[in-house]
């Protein structure tokens, strides 16, 4: 049964920068493991807020940092421009700095934290896993930003990775190359495939594609179960 939740604006400091965000947590309180959710190239839009709430209903403290400072993007041209001009080191630093902020809240205690990223955010989550040690687990949804294979060698946390079989952005070729890189560096990971699902199947709750909706629900259930074990 889904837990009752409370959601709110959040903000944390990262160096000289203040990063806004959206936080959802179970209303019942108590110390819970946490998830930092990294949005895709549309920004912190309604779909990202919905997903943040959804994982909070599974019993996690969930924070979505806003990499685009209140702006969202909707046309393919605008979204692609934003992604391809991204300051990756700065973004990764902001993501890692979410964890000290979460540690200040009364809802976390010494519980572990995972990073979960979608599309562009999936690639940023991989960088964050490799470049910081603050995350105990990583969940990757159809990354569309692909780190160099050698940039993955320092990842120590286990990963769960989700992909649709009908995704033109994160193709089977990209998935195979990613798998080869993880195997080369002997990483602990699991890949879940969703037949007929396209790109961003979890980020579009109003999708008319049945495979997208089914993939979304199955992936959330699988992720919640996997994270409860990984963050125990």
Tens digits of residue pLDDT in 200-216: 999 987 788 999 999 99
Asked whether 39 and 19 are in contact (CB, 8 A), the reply is no
Compute the mean pLDDT over every residue in the chain, rounded to the nearest whole number: 95
DSSP class of residue 215 equals H
Number of domains in the chain: 1
What per-residue confidence (pLDDT) applies to 150? 95
Q: Is the predicted pLDDT of residue 41 greater than 80, yes or no?
A: yes
* CATH code (residue 65): 3.40.50.1820
pTM equals: 0.96
- Domain hosting residue 115, numbered range: 5-230
- List alpha helices for the chain, DSSP H: 46-56, 76-84, 88-96, 98-104, 120-131, 172-184, 210-230
Segment 96-119 shows an average pLDDT of 96
Distance CA 22, CA 53 (A): 9
Asked whether 118 and 40 are in contact (CB, 8 A), the reply is yes
| Position 69 confidence tier, pLDDT thresholds 50, 70, 90 | confident
């Amino acid at each position: 049964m889904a837990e009752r939740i409370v959601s709110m604006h959040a903000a944390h400091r990262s160096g000289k920068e203040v990063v806004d965000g959206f936080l959802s947590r179970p209303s019942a309180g108590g110390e819970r493991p946490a998830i930092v959710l990294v949005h895709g190239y549309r920004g912190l839009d309604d779909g990202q807020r919905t997903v943040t709430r959804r994982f909070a209903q599974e019993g996690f403290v969930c924070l979505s940092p806003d990499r685009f400072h209140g702006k969202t993007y909707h046309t393919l041209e605008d979204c692609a421009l934003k992604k391809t001009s991204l300051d990756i080191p700065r973004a990764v630093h902001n993501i890692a700095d979410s964890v000290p902020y979460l540690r200040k809240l009364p809802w976390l205690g010494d519980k572990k934290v995972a990073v979960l990223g979608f599309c562009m955010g999936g690639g940023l989550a991989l960088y964050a896993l490799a470049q910081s040690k603050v995350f105990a687990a990583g969940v990757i949804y159809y990354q569309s930003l692909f780190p160099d294979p050698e940039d993955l060698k320092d990842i120590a946390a286990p990963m769960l990775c989700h992909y649709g079989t009908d995704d033109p952005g994160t193709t089977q070729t990209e998935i195979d190359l990613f798998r080869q890189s993880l195997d080369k560096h002997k990483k602990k990971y699991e890949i879940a495939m969703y037949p007929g699902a396209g790109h961003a199947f979890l980020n579009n709750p109003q999708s008319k594609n049945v495979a997208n909706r089914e993939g979304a629900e199955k992936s959330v259930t699988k992720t919640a179960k996997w994270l409860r074990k990984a963050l125990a």
